[in-house]
A and B are shown apart, each in its own frame.
Chain A
């Protein structure tokens, strides 16, 4: 175990009733690492993320934050949800200020800065259901960042956002993660997104999920969409695609055998 490990799954098995979602998975995420997790649908990616967030407890093994077991919901691991999970009764600004206000902290300048840095100036007084999907995800990101978590856990945060907005959000997340020195665990189904964002890409096997492949991303930062077209990244993409494809086929076979 490296000294700089922030998050660690130590031989973790997780079952839902009779279904084993994860079996004896080991994964370590280093300080300031941006780790992107890929894998076929249903392989246990969200399960692992929920264990790190403390939403659930592992059936076997341990999940650790800086060496300490995660025993309950862990505010130091800020989650960005796929379906935003914004509080509909609070305005955009109130949503963002939610975490600090729990601790009794009021810092309007900080909220204003966050609103600016995720690009939603002028929307502070609207309610979430007055916003488009892309806007909502910006608010959700700002709300999580306002709480100053040590780790960001993102479960397909941009999956429901249109392609144009997604590109902008990817760039913003990348910039914020670098400038705020955050450790990030990011789940996606998009290999392009993985290559654009990741320091390291982990491919999980079909259920029960285990680490099939762990690849450092050689691409230089800052990254642009154009870099995806360069031969180096196309090769990487094809390699990852083959690995994911094997597992997707495997999980399809499993499910056709099961039915």
Chain B
């Protein structure tokens, strides 16, 4: 029996990946390429400036009038399968991206949009983690605390980040504090639950082994529980960062002119599809970049999770 092959190798994977991206770009080109040419002709009066005199047949008056001249005008309109504002061409999108990158005008620069969104996320994420992680671990350790907080969290968890926007505006106005609050509320319950689960998942045998080797209850947290839970906490936080992104995009719908969320929403108001696409591409790229950075952090913090298992018998 041949099982499904696990891998096709790194280089081939990159090759196929490039092909996938090329395919999507090609489809984009084809959809927006002006294949169709529409030609219309119509007669138009053209001024010649040439004057001549005629006698008015009724009054006998001599009039000076311009000789009329008519001309056939051909009008050529090019159109693609999909036209703006539904979809703009790749060239226009690139040009818009460049304009956004180089603008010094009253409108914010693309880098400012990116920087603002990143700062809001990082700050909100750091604040929510610095409360959620200790609380989650404590909930894992103390069943009474867990029982008290769990219902509140299960009430908060289903609320999408966008549902926090109205309350945040009423309480905090439309400033930066409101943006932070939305990121915080959107990511807090997820961070808390991932940390709690990671703590509860710690192998009780490890705790027994540590106690048996003489660890006192006061050292158990630092020496065993935290390192044992850390890998799962970190992989939970990776998901939380993605959630924080959706939060910041919701938060930037209103009350700000800067940020990637604001960029795509205001561009939509002006039917500027190219700028919307630029904004979306930036969101995706920044998320990918943050993911890559986070993985480097993980390799630093939990190196034992990245060494290959020689043989797993359990």
Interface residues of A in 57-86 (CB under 8 A from B): 73-75, 77-79, 81, 83, 85-86
What class of interface size applies to chain B in its complex with A?
Answer: 20 to 34
| B84 at interface, CB cutoff 8 A | no
How far is B314's CA from A85's CA once the two chains are assembled, in angstroms?
11
Residues of A within 8 A of B2 (CB): none
Residues of A within 8 A of B214 (CB): 75, 99, 102-103, 147
Tell whether, in the assembled complex, residue A89 and residue B227 are in contact, meaning their CB atoms are under 8 Å apart: yes
Which of B206, B209, B223, B312 interacts with A79 by CB under 8 Å?
B209
| B215 at interface, CB cutoff 8 A | yes
Residues of A within 8 A of B205 (CB): 81, 83, 85
Expressed in whole angstroms, the minimum distance between the Cβ of B116 and any Cβ of chain A is 37
Residues of B within 8 A of A160 (CB): 313-314
Tell whether, in the assembled complex, residue B206 and residue A129 are in contact, meaning their CB atoms are under 8 Å apart: no
Expressed in whole angstroms, the minimum distance between the Cβ of A93 and any Cβ of chain B is 14
The count of chain A contact residues (Cβ–Cβ below 8 Å) is 31
Tell whether, in the assembled complex, residue B228 and residue A102 are in contact, meaning their CB atoms are under 8 Å apart: no
B203 and chain A: residue at smallest CB distance: A85
| B144 at interface, CB cutoff 8 A | no
| A132 at interface, CB cutoff 8 A | yes
| B292 at interface, CB cutoff 8 A | no
The 0/1 profile, CB within 8 Å of A marked 1, for residues 276-314 of chain B is 000000000000000000000000001111011111111
Tell whether, in the assembled complex, residue A130 and residue B307 are in contact, meaning their CB atoms are under 8 Å apart: yes
Which of A99, A129, A132, A144 interacts with B307 by CB under 8 Å?
A129
Tell whether, in the assembled complex, residue A89 and residue B230 are in contact, meaning their CB atoms are under 8 Å apart: yes
Interface residues of B in 213-246 (CB under 8 A from A): 213-215, 219, 223-224, 227-228, 230
Residues of A within 8 A of B310 (CB): 129-132
Tell whether, in the assembled complex, residue A83 and residue B209 are in contact, meaning their CB atoms are under 8 Å apart: no
Tell whether, in the assembled complex, residue B311 and residue A132 are in contact, meaning their CB atoms are under 8 Å apart: yes
Tell whether, in the assembled complex, residue A98 and residue B213 are in contact, meaning their CB atoms are under 8 Å apart: yes
28 CB contacts below 8 A, A to B, read A53-B208, A53-B212, A55-B212, A73-B212, A77-B212, A79-B212, A81-B205, A81-B208, A85-B205, A85-B208, A85-B209, A87-B206, A88-B228, A88-B305, A89-B230, A99-B214, A102-B215, A103-B214, A128-B304, A129-B304, A129-B307, A129-B309, A130-B308, A130-B309, A130-B310, A131-B311, A133-B311, A133-B313
**Residues of B that sit less than 8 Å from A by CB:** 203, 205-206, 208-215, 219, 223-224, 227-228, 230, 302-305, 307-314
Q: What are the 7 A-B residue pairs with the smallest beta carbon separation, nearest first? A: A73-B211, A85-B209, A99-B213, A85-B205, A75-B214, A89-B227, A127-B304
**Residues of A that sit less than 8 Å from B by CB:** 53, 55, 73-75, 77-79, 81, 83, 85-89, 98-99, 102-103, 126-133, 143-144, 147, 160
- Known contacts A85-B206, A87-B227, A130-B309; 8 additional CB pairs below 8 A are A55-B212, A75-B213, A79-B209, A89-B227, A98-B213, A99-B213, A127-B304, A127-B307
